[in-house]
Amino acid sequence: MLTAEEKHRIDHEISLVPARKNAGIEALKIVQQSHGWVSDESLQDVAEYVGMSTAELDSVATFYNLIFRRPVGRHVILLCDSISCYVMGYEGLRDHLYNTLQIQYGQTTADGRFTLLPNCCLGTCDCAPALMIDNDLYRNLTVEQLDEILSKYT
């Protein structure tokens, strides 16, 4: 069930678009900010609220890789695997994260601290390789920097 605060925020997004269902993605983001992910129940509630079928909204949610349809860790690591990052050292970063966190892509650490996901582009190709943790972008990365970066997130 959507909270009053979520409905208020969704109503604001609806006011910015020509049709109620055009606010679907923004409504999903609002729910995700509140809960960390979008459950089936939340998806149904949002669909009903914005006037979409559950299937329609689910197709939107699953198209966007930053709408999480299952629980994720407290911090989400997006490792850019674009060609620029690949050429500039992506594999070393990926392997170090796999070994340090003891997880692979799509998995969450046993303590629930991190979820690791690939990302096709973070839009900073001139400063590759790059990764993002939550809303923090790290560019020109080296393997040697990773442990210090990870230690900032509890």
Residue 125 belongs to domain with CATH number: 3.40.30.10
Q: Are residues 101 and 54 in the same domain?
A: no
- In this prediction, residues 45-57 reach a mean pLDDT of 98
The range of the structural domain enclosing residue 139 comes to: 75-152
133-143 mean pLDDT: 97
* Contact yes or no for 36/72 (Cβ under 8 A): yes
Q: What is the pLDDT of residue 42?
A: 98
Asked whether residue 121 is marked as a ligand-binding residue, the answer is yes
Of 81, 100, 111, 87, nearest in space to 149 by CA: 100
Write the DSSP symbol of residue 25: H
What is the arithmetic mean of pLDDT over 116-135?
96
pLDDT the model gives residue 107: 97
- For residues 105-134, give the mean pLDDT: 97
What amino acid occupies position 114?
Answer: F
Instruction: Examine the domain organization and report whether 28 and 50 are in the same domain.
Output: yes
Instruction: Give mean pLDDT, residues 43-67.
Output: 96
Looking at this protein, which amino acid is placed at residue 13? E
Mean pLDDT of 123-139: 97
Look at residue 70 and tell me if it is in a domain: no
Q: Which of 84, 94, 86, 87 is nearest to 125 (CA)?
A: 84
Q: What pTM did the predictor assign?
A: 0.87
Q: Is the pLDDT of residue 12 over 90?
A: yes
The mean predicted confidence, pLDDT, of the chain is 97
Binding site annotation covers 127?
Answer: no
Is the confidence at residue 123, as pLDDT, over 90? yes
Residue 125 located in a structural domain: yes
Q: How confident is the model at residue 65 (pLDDT cuts 50, 70, 90)?
A: confident
Measured from the Cβ of residue 73, the count of other Cβ atoms closer than 10 Å reads 19
Report the 10 Å Cβ neighbour count for 141. 23
86 and 147 fall within a common domain: yes
Q: What is the pLDDT of residue 14?
A: 98
Q: Cα–Cα distances in Å, from 125 out to 16, 44, 89?
A: 32, 38, 12
